[in-house]
Amino acid sequence: MERTFEHFPQESDIRCPICGTNDDRECFLLPIDGTDEGSICEAQPTHVSCVELHKFRYNKEHGLIYCKL
């Protein structure tokens, strides 16, 4: 996480992809696959604490970091 933000965006339709809430907690912008245009891409606000709580796994063959939601 290069940069974090103290507050989660409070727009009603924006939710953390891990917990499904927009609780006002520290967050970061998680890049969205397939949206890259040069050095710019779309991103999804995601709670830092949600990432820290889940057990992530690494698939070395495919170069993927993931968790089952």
Question: What is the predicted pLDDT for the residue at 44?
Answer: 93
Q: pLDDT tens, position by position, for the chain (69 residues)?
A: 669 999 999 988 999 998 999 999 999 999 998 999 998 999 999 999 998 887 778 788 888 878 776
Residue 43 domain boundaries: 4-66
Cα distance between residue 19 and residue 8, in whole Å: 13
Question: What is the predicted pLDDT for the residue at 1?
Answer: 62
Strand 43-47 versus strand 64-66 pairing type: unpaired
Q: How many structural domains is the chain composed of?
A: 1
pTM above 0.85, yes or no: no
* HEC per residue, 45-58: EEEHHHHHHCCCEE
